[in-house]
Amino acid sequence: MSLIEYDVENDGERVAQMKRLSGGSTMVPLIDIEGIIIRGYVPEEMKDAVEKRKKRSM
């Protein structure tokens, strides 16, 4: 797993992608953990998503 950061303030294509993934929201950060979308900085949800993906890949 790796981290990729996008600057949605300066990249219109990434803004459009963010809106598609978030259901139209422009809340940042928008975190995509292998298909699990998390709106905002929510450490517990991030941890749960990582654990869920680890189990799936085993």
Closest listed residue to residue 36, CA positions, set 17, 52, 23: 52
**Does residue 52 sit within a domain?**
yes
**Does residue 28 sit within a domain?**
yes
Mean pLDDT of 6-11: 90
Give SS3 for 33.
Answer: strand
**Alpha-carbon span 44 to 49, nearest angstrom:** 9
Per-residue model confidence (pLDDT) at position 1? 64
**Does residue 4 sit within a domain?**
no
Range of the domain at 51: 12-57
**Does residue 48 sit within a domain?**
yes
**Alpha-carbon span 40 to 22, nearest angstrom:** 11
Residues 6+ apart with CB under 8 A from 12: none
**Does residue 46 sit within a domain?**
yes
H-only helix segments in 1-58: 12-22, 43-57
**Does residue 25 sit within a domain?**
yes
Single pTM value for the model? 0.78
Number of domains in the chain: 1
**Does residue 20 sit within a domain?**
yes
pLDDT (tens digit per residue) in 19-58: 999 999 888 999 999 999 999 999 999 999 999 998 887 7
pLDDT (tens digit per residue) in 13-27: 999 999 999 999 888
